[in-house]
């Protein structure tokens, strides 16, 4: 069975929400489509190192934060992707809006966000996804 990659896509008998990051983590089949391939590259860029086989330091730091807090929050793929999105918006997008996002570079919070160099890599992967998506939607 192929699962669509759609943020908040509802499917199955339970009609539960399965996020694209959960599909990626579980290595579920997806609809073969160029945009889905680009979406997968965002997850790879965010959560894996260059060889695609090992966890990025961002993941390891998130797991460490969970252990320190005695929780299972910071290392959830949906939470990691949300923080990565937030960090990239603050650092790479040219948008300056403290209402939208702020504080991802503060020394006391940087450990649970991608570092500055990693944000550039994530930003490039996001641009490679959103640019053709925007072009397709504007047709």
pLDDT in tens, 123-136: 999 999 999 999 98
Question: Whole domain around residue 48: which residue ranges?
Answer: 34-137
- Sequence-ordered list of residues with C-beta below 8 angstroms from that of 136, at least 6 positions apart, any chain: 35
Q: What's the domain count of the chain?
A: 1
Percent of the chain residues topping a pLDDT of 70: 86
Q: What is the percentage of the chain residues whose pLDDT exceeds 90?
A: 52
57: in domain: yes
Q: Does residue 52 fall inside a structural domain?
A: yes
Considering the domain boundaries, does residue 11 fall inside one?
no
Instruction: Dump pLDDT digits (tens) for 56-102.
Output: 999 999 999 999 999 999 999 999 999 999 999 888 767 777 777 77
Secondary structure of 75-94 as H, E, C letters? CCHHHHHHHHHHHHHHHHCC
Residue 12 has pLDDT above 70, yes or no: no
18 assigned to some structural domain: no
Residue 51 lies in a domain: yes
């Amino acid at each position: 069975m192929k699962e669509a990659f759609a943020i908040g896509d509802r499917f199955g008998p339970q009609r539960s929400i399965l996020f694209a990051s959960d599909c990626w983590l579980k290595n579920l089949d997806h609809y073969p489509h160029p945009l889905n391939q680009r979406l997968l590259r965002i997850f790879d860029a965010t959560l894996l190192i260059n060889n695609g086989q090992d966890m990025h330091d961002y993941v390891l730091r998130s797991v460490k934060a969970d252990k320190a807090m005695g929780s299972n929050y910071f290392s959830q793929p949906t939470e990691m992707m949300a923080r990565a999105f937030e960090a990239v918006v603050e650092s790479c997008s040219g948008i300056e809006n403290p209402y939208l996002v702020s504080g991802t570079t503060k020394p006391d919070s940087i450990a649970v966000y991608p570092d500055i160099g990693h944000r550039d890599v994530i930003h490039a992967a996001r641009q490679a996804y959103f640019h053709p998506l925007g072009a397709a939607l504007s047709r």
